[in-house]
Amino acid sequence: MVFKIGLLGLGTVGIGTAKILLSPQGRHPLIHELEIYRVGVRDISKTRDVNISPNILTTDLEAIATDPDVDIIIELIGGLEPARSLILKAIEHGKHIVTANKAVISRYGQEIFDAANKKSVYVMLEAAVGGGIPVIQPLKESLGVNRIHSITGIVNGTTNYILTRMEKEGADFADVLADAQSLGYAEADPTADVEGLDAKDKIAILGSLAFGSIIKLEDIYCEGISQITAADITYAAQLDFVIKLLAIAKGYPNSTNSTSDKLQLRVHPTLIPKTHPLASINDVYNAILIEGEPIGQVMFFGPGAGAGPTASAVVSDIMSITAILQTKTEPIPHPLLSCTHQKSCEIEPIKELITRFYTRFLTQDKPGVIGKLGSCFGKYNVSLESVVQTGIHNQLAEIVVVTHDVREGNFRQALGEIQSLDIIDSIPSILRVL
Question: What is the chain's pLDDT, residue by residue, as a tens digit (434 residues)?
Answer: 899 999 999 999 999 999 999 999 999 999 999 999 999 999 998 989 999 999 999 999 999 999 999 999 999 999 999 999 999 999 999 999 999 999 999 999 999 999 999 999 999 999 999 999 999 999 999 998 999 999 999 999 999 999 999 999 999 999 999 999 998 888 899 999 999 999 999 999 999 999 988 899 999 999 999 999 999 999 999 999 999 999 999 986 544 444 446 899 999 999 999 999 999 999 999 999 999 999 999 999 999 888 999 999 999 999 999 998 888 766 666 766 777 666 778 899 999 999 999 999 999 998 899 999 999 999 999 999 999 988 888 889 999 999 999 999 999 999 999 999 999 999 999 999 99
Radius of gyration of the chain (CA): 24
Number of CB atoms found within 10 A of residue 389's CB = 14
Please give the angle made by the CA atoms of 363, 367 and 372, to the nearest 5 degrees.
Answer: 65
* Model pLDDT, residue 261: 67
The whole-angstrom separation of Cα 351 and Cα 364 is 29
Say whether the peptide bond before residue 253 is cis (omega within 30 degrees of 0).
Answer: no
CB 165 within 8 A of CB 158: no
**Residue 69 DSSP class:** T
* Model pLDDT, residue 5: 98
Say whether the peptide bond before residue 331 is cis (omega within 30 degrees of 0).
Answer: yes
Exactly one of 200, 202, 244, 250 is catalytic; name it.
202
* Model pLDDT, residue 391: 84
**Model pTM score:** 0.93
* Model pLDDT, residue 331: 62
SS3 410: helix
Delineate the domains of the chain, giving CATH numbers in brackets. 3-132+307-341 (3.40.50.720), 136-303 (3.30.360.10), 352-433 (3.30.70.260)
> Burial letters for 409-423: b for 16+ Cβ neighbours within 10 Å, e otherwise?
ebbbbbbeebeeeee
The whole-angstrom separation of Cα 150 and Cα 241 is 21
| Phi, psi values for residue 189, rounded to 5° | -105, 100
Beta bridge partners of 356: 433
The whole-angstrom separation of Cα 32 and Cα 170 is 50
The whole-angstrom separation of Cα 128 and Cα 100 is 4
* Model pLDDT, residue 259: 45
Does 202 participate in catalysis according to the annotation? yes
Beta bridge partners of 171: none
The whole-angstrom separation of Cα 204 and Cα 105 is 9
The whole-angstrom separation of Cα 364 and Cα 425 is 7
